[in-house]
Amino acid sequence: MDGWMDEPPERPLGKVQCHVPPGSGMTTKIIHFMVNGRLEQAEFSADCSAADVKDLFRAAAEAGPHHILKMYNANGSVVNISPRLEANSEESYYRLEVVASDLRSVAMPPELDNMEYRLHHLESRVTEDVGKTPDIISGLKSHVESFKRKLEFHSPHCQSAEHLSWMGLFKADGDQQLSKFCPKPKTPQLSVQEERQQVRRKFLNMSSLQVTEEVREHLKTPIFDNWQWEEAEMLVLLQVMYTDLDFLTAFHIEPEVLQNFLFEVYCHYNNIPFHNFQHCFCVTQMMYGLIWLTDLRNKLGRVDLLIMLTSALCHDLDHPGYNNVYQINAQTDLALRYNDISPLENHHCAVAFGILSKPECNILKNLTGEQYKHIRGGMIKCILATDMARHYEILNKFKLMQPVFDFTNQDHKEVLMKIMVKVSDISNEARPMAVAEPWLDCLLQEFFNQSDTEKLKGLPVAPFMDRDKVSKPSSQTSFIRFVLLPLFSELTKLFPCLEQHILEPVRRALEYYSDMERASKDEEGPAKA
């Protein structure tokens, strides 16, 4: 975080280390990795900050602060560079690469450098007093790093294809790939309408770009990091999903109509902490990844794949940030309109088909009446299935089908499609911790906003939403143990390949939050005594 010099400090050949205070009792982990043709060894504790670990690997790669690094495991998959990087042996070494090396000319504003220095100084002082970096400072550091990456990406110096290669966007020009595109930073203090139009312009400008094969492949995995992409870029990636599943050809979808549809979907997600457009993208991206990982393209018809992907895309349209229990207890217009029966999910469906009713957005307009009816019915079933009040009903149906599951049986297929949308909807903990944990913060913020309103209105408050009763780890351990693991385990029985991709990460997440919960209780013990 405090920045490396252009020439990194000298270090022992073959070993880099994050400082561990002597006598601290901290357990260190050893990471073996290949960089620049040589085998290196890194040593750090789980208490090291993410920034320190990244700086450690920058030093090993002899990279400057503006270089972009990627780490690959023995299977060639991208892994997150963080304190949670798993220890390995020399035989199963990671591969570290500098994937963008032309950013040294990007000048950071002096105000940002000053902010970064002051933040680092504050962290050092606080760490000396309390022995660890508070979450709020870690969050601020993360925001500063993210802002720096965006400045680098938006810099007027980006002239070469190499600069954009980390994002995988290239301008198509005949048989060549040229990078003439350099997006502009957002103008501050825009109205919502102006900001949306700016996103639309950027999206349409980028829609003629080609996304590299590397990014296309990464898009098919649960480790995809949504936090590195802007809204217009996510719209481009959604377009890639529809294109690469061959929906445009199969259903005679015009590219311009698809773009209009995607943009309208974006416009109908609200600016709230969790159930926003980024969440919509994550759920759709996970669904897309699961389709490829389970080879569903060869098990279900393309129309069923369209139903699942579009259901994921539309499943939370116009979510107000207050759940069904609130809608019913507060007797909102939605609860009254839908007679207290899945008010939000019914509303999401209605908004989705309201968008599709516009000819310029109707990606289904070239289908037969029978095809449209089938897709509409399938989407309604899949979106209504995301109401957690129906979770055990749907899961139990799936369990009963498991021993004799039949991909040609319509009832079996319908339940599977619901399960796939449900898994995608609550799949954050299947992602790397650096991607998943910020989503938990967003969810808790939305929960707390609701419970604060419920207290003001004298409505019942769910304990798991009450900021005075819930903690970050306690909010997750029960949810993972009683909701995620049974659901993911059942899907893994049908698709054993998913164990390593979604089930194991969820098990690790449970261990992570259980350890955090135990540590929190241990800290409280002496204080209460």
pLDDT at 116 over 50: yes
Question: b/e for 268-302, b at 16 or more Cβ within 10 A?
Answer: bbeebbbbbbbbbbbbbbbbbbbbebbebeebbee
pLDDT of residue 72: 83
Distance CA 138, CA 283 (A): 26
For 455, counting Cβ atoms within 10 Å of its Cβ (0-12 exposed, 13-18 middle, 19+ buried), the class is middle
Between 94-108, 193-207, 509-523, the lowest mean confidence (pLDDT) is in 94-108
What is the pLDDT confidence band of residue 37, given thresholds at 50, 70 and 90? confident
pLDDT at 354 over 90: yes
Residues in the chain: 529
Among candidate residues 131, 66, 61, the one with its CA nearest the CA of residue 97:
61
- Residue where the block lists tokens 């965006």: 150
Dihedral of CA 520/524/526/529: which sign?
Answer: negative
pLDDT at 451 over 50: yes
pLDDT of residue 148: 54
∠ CA(138), CA(219), CA(166), 5° rounding? 65
78 DSSP β-pair partners: 72
Between 17-21, 73-77, 181-185, the lowest mean confidence (pLDDT) is in 181-185
> Which three-class secondary structure state does DSSP give residue 136?
helix
Distance CA 468, CA 368 (A): 54
- CATH topology for 15-100 is Ubiquitin-like (UB roll) (3.10.20)
Rounded mean pLDDT, 327-342: 98
Please give the share of the chain, as a percent, with pLDDT higher than 70.
76
Output 249 or 73, whichever has higher pLDDT.
Answer: 249
Residue tagged active-site, from 66, 275, 347, 501: 275
What is the pLDDT confidence band of residue 110, given thresholds at 50, 70 and 90? low
Which residue pairs from 171-180 have beta carbons closer than 8 angstroms and sit at least 24 positions apart in sequence? 171/208, 171/209, 171/210, 172/208, 172/209, 172/210, 177/210
Distance CA 345, CA 384 (A): 5
Among candidate residues 78, 93, 84, 3, the one with its CA nearest the CA of residue 39:
93
pLDDT of residue 2: 34
List, as one string, the DSSP characters of 210-268: EEPHHHHHHTTSTT--GGG--HHHHHHHHHHHHHHTTHHHHTT--HHHHHHHHHHHHHT
pLDDT of residue 54: 82
Q: Where are the domains of the chain?
A: 15-100, 110-148, 220-520
Distance CA 181, CA 210 (A): 11
Contact indicator for 375, 366 with CB cutoff of 8 Å: no
For 123, counting Cβ atoms within 10 Å of its Cβ (0-12 exposed, 13-18 middle, 19+ buried), the class is buried
Contact indicator for 61, 67 with CB cutoff of 8 Å: yes
Contact indicator for 402, 491 with CB cutoff of 8 Å: no
Look up residue 146 and give its two tokens. Answer: 């993210």
pLDDT at 68 over 80: no
Q: For the chain, give the mean pLDDT.
A: 83
pLDDT at 113 over 90: no
Which residue pairs from 321-325 have beta carbons closer than 8 angstroms and sit at least 24 positions apart in sequence? 321/270, 321/272, 321/273, 321/274, 321/275, 321/446, 321/449, 321/450, 322/450, 322/453, 323/450, 324/387, 324/389, 325/460, 325/462
| pLDDT, tens digit, 9 for 90 and up, residues 400-416 | 998 899 999 999 999 99
Q: How many other C-beta atoms can be found within 10 angstroms of the C-beta atom of residue 313?
A: 24
Distance CA 525, CA 477 (A): 20
Q: How many other C-beta atoms can be found within 10 angstroms of the C-beta atom of residue 136?
A: 9
Output 161 or 509, whichever has higher pLDDT.
Answer: 509
Output 60 or 220, whichever has higher pLDDT.
Answer: 220
What is the tally of helices (H) and strands (E) in the chain?
22, 9
15 DSSP β-pair partners: 41
pLDDT at 185 over 50: no
Between 20-29, 229-238, 332-341, 450-459, the lowest mean confidence (pLDDT) is in 20-29
Rounded mean pLDDT, 141-152: 55
| pLDDT, tens digit, 9 for 90 and up, residues 222-260 | 999 999 999 999 999 999 999 999 999 999 999 999 999
43 DSSP β-pair partners: 17, 30
| pLDDT, tens digit, 9 for 90 and up, residues 274-314 | 999 999 999 999 999 999 999 999 999 999 999 999 999 99
Output 19 or 515, whichever has higher pLDDT.
Answer: 515
Question: Which of these CATH numbers, 1.10.3720.10, 2.30.180.10, 1.20.1730.10, 1.10.1300.10, describes 220-520?
Answer: 1.10.1300.10
Which residue pairs from 522-526 have beta carbons closer than 8 angstroms and sit at least 24 positions apart in sequence? none
Angstrom CA distances, 450 to 328, 391, 513, stand at 13, 22, 24
pLDDT of residue 520: 78
Q: Does 275 participate in catalysis according to the annotation?
A: yes
* This prediction's pTM: 0.68
15 DSSP 8-state letter: E
- State residue 201 phi and psi, 5-degree precision: -60, -45
Q: Please count the CA atoms within 13 angstroms of the CA of 171 that sit on its side-chain side.
A: 13
pLDDT of residue 131: 63
pLDDT of residue 55: 81
pLDDT of residue 172: 37
Rounded mean pLDDT, 52-64: 81
pLDDT of residue 486: 97
Dihedral of CA 434/439/445/451: which sign?
Answer: negative
| pLDDT, tens digit, 9 for 90 and up, residues 117-137 | 566 667 666 666 666 666 666
